[in-house]
Chain A
């Protein structure tokens, strides 16, 4: 039987190296691994997340500490520090439609090189020259209709948040905190799962595991967890 490594937040955070691409789960800080995020010290990071949270909250903690070089997100309007740092030339910012970003990550974890989506045709996200657009996008006419060819995305480290993990590393989520977490878990070389509780293997049960242990390398118990 497999056993994931249960580590401290500090040990987990040390797995993130300068210059890494780090995927951070969560949606407006709900479902973000706050304990691990708070311990990260590596810099020049490319951070992939939905929204960069709020000022000094969620993935916004990494921004506040000046650890982010490039931010890839879908919506950053609720963290005013993003615009401040972007306008000051301190960070690079790439904005992707939410469904496109989710699918890029899903493809990254499942061996799909890219996909054709109707989202964003004729907009700034179709323009690879635009400063906020990720490189690699192409407009392709397929079966008489225009689509964007969007490439898959992978990262070095995924920092995900789950409700419960078993000792093997199987993870289950709760409520709307699932969001990007299971997608990111499959799309990175190393996956760290911060969870609210750890139970003996078997207690979640194969019918209810949502992210299998084969995607999860390290488990961290959330700070203040019961």
Chain B
């Protein structure tokens, strides 16, 4: 797979996890590509944790355009049925489990569903923003990331970086595989036919349980 194909491939597969009517929060980077691949019959409501539901792309013609910004501080838009609210209300929506899915990238994921995606000690001090709240509050957490970091496994028996949340991840989608986090461990549900099961296991430091109904990732 060409490098340029990896992110769209992951985003396309993540899009199939979303259902009509879902309230979804997207992390920065790859996750923001997911709505482009959602079937047009599926209507999503995007939650922007800085204070509204109904996030859309920026619309420079909107009368309030300069007042509409997303959680990255960039100009964005709002659906006609959207709503603005304050930060406490925003995270009430999150912790109250009114967000059906959160999709985000990660540095590491453990076989217990622990996730480390906010800090590499000794480098920057970025802060966790809303990630910890989203991980503990959203009904479903989907990690959308490249399977390895320059060949080094990111899916591990235990995370070595500081955690963002414990036991929060439900599903891991990479350019190699779809992996479900279960009580028994990581279950390999789907695989990219460009790779063998052995290659996928070799790129994964945690042990994979092969699903009985394992199948290729549908494009």
A interface residue numbers (CB < 8 A to B): 27-30, 50-51, 73-78, 82-83, 86-87, 93, 95, 97-103, 105-106, 117-125, 132, 163, 173-183
With a 10 A CB-CB cut-off, give which of B69, B88, B124 has the most chain A CB atoms: B88
Q: How far is the CB of A75 from chain B (nearest CB, A)?
A: 4
**Contact: B67 with A177, CB < 8 Å?**
yes
Q: Is B49 an interface residue (CB 8 A)?
A: yes
Mostly, the A contact residues are mixed
**Contact: B84 with A122, CB < 8 Å?**
no
Q: Which of B90-98, B150-158, B181-189 contacts A (4 or more CB under 8 A)?
A: B90-98
Known: A98-B91, A177-B67. A75 touches B51 (CB 8 A): no
- Which residues of A sit under 8 angstroms from B67, Cβ to Cβ? 30, 163, 174-177
**Contact: A175 with B84, CB < 8 Å?**
yes
CB closest chain-B residue, reference A130: B162
Known: A83-B125, A132-B125, A181-B86. A119 touches B136 (CB 8 A): yes
CB closest chain-B residue, reference A125: B132
CB closest chain-B residue, reference A27: B50
**Contact: A123 with B162, CB < 8 Å?**
yes
**Contact: B86 with A122, CB < 8 Å?**
no
Known: A122-B163, A122-B166. A75 touches B126 (CB 8 A): yes
B interface residue numbers (CB < 8 A to A): 48-52, 64, 66-73, 78, 84-88, 90-92, 94-95, 114, 124-133, 136-137, 162-166
- A-B residue pairs, 9 tightest by C-beta: A28-B73, A175-B67, A99-B91, A77-B126, A99-B133, A122-B166, A75-B129, A102-B87, A75-B127
Q: How far is the CB of B110 from chain A (nearest CB, A)?
A: 12
Question: CA of A29 to CA of B73 in the docked complex: distance in angstroms?
Answer: 8
- Which residues of A sit under 8 angstroms from B124, Cβ to Cβ? 77, 83
Q: How far is the CB of B181 from chain A (nearest CB, A)?
A: 16
